[in-house]
Amino acid sequence: MRKFARHAVFYAVLIGIWALLGALKIWPTYVFPTPKGVGEALYAGFQDHSFWIAIAVSMKRMLLGYSLSVVLGMVLGLGVASNKFLEETMGGLLVSLQSLPSICWLPLAVLWFGLTEKAILFVVVMGSLLSVTIAMEDGRKQMPKIHSMAGRNLGATGLKLFWYVLLPASLPFILNGLKQGWAFAWRSLISGEMIFVSLGLGQQLMMGRDLNDMNLVIAVMLLIIAIGYIVDGLVFRTAERSLQRRWGLEPAS
């Protein structure tokens, strides 16, 4: 409760300073929007459903692209981790590719897939695939060997071994990578949506720019932050906590 109170005070002060700066009219409102204007833009956006649609479209792309890269990344990561040749060759390539912002793939993606959903999905997948792959590779290596031996000893083979033993055993080690993959995918998606016109939050933001409506721009920025925060807190924190409880790992505090 005290933590909540601290948060409430902090944000109240922050918005207060913002409102104060706005009220002083140092800059024109079209350069420096006020909390009131942004609030109204948020209200209007939800009122005419344009925000709901944008969120739905963006989330759909995220879910599709992210699931794709999780599945692909796990297969790739396991492959790289279990083969010495792949590890030496692909391993280095993956790490160096990770320094490339995935939006750089957009020109190629548009050329290959046209101005379609596929192009944007490609950018999202490229954004998170490497994180997931590297995390899976690390996870497979860090995972205590005893678990896979125990699994085989109890009769698990092939796909069963992967699903019931290797995957759950490496989960604590890959969770951070999955989380990072989600964050990268989210950034890639918004950048992609901003550059080529289609529905989605990124496009809403660019619309604000085109209309010179900074209230809308900030409103969408707030939405992007909120969704990122909610997914992180709701999905990944919950998963983390449940893992810690099961494995008996103390949360780092």
Burial class (CB within 10 angstroms; exposed 0-12, middle 13-18, buried 19+) of 234 = exposed
How does DSSP classify residue 1? -
Among 28, 31, 155, 159, binds another protein (CB under 8 A): 155
Q: Which is nearer to another protein, 18 or 173 (CB)?
A: 173
Q: Which two tokens stand for residue 138?
A: 């690390």
- Scanning 38-46, 77-85, 164-172, 186-194 for contacts with another protein by CB under 8 A, the matching segment is 164-172
State the minimum distance, in angstroms, from the CB of residue 140 to another protein: 16
* 3-state secondary structure labels for all residues of 104-170: HHHHHHHHHHCCCHHHHHHHHHHHHHHHHHHHHHHHHHHCCHHHHHHHHHCCCCHHHHHHHHHHHHH
How does DSSP classify residue 98? T
Among 18, 147, 173, 213, binds another protein (CB under 8 A): 147
Among 160, 209, 237, 241, binds another protein (CB under 8 A): 160
The answer to the question of residue 152 lying near another protein (CB under 8 A) is yes
Q: Which is nearer to another protein, 93 or 154 (CB)?
A: 154
- Residues at the interface with another protein (CB under 8 A): 146-147, 149-156, 160, 164-165, 168-169, 171, 243, 245-248
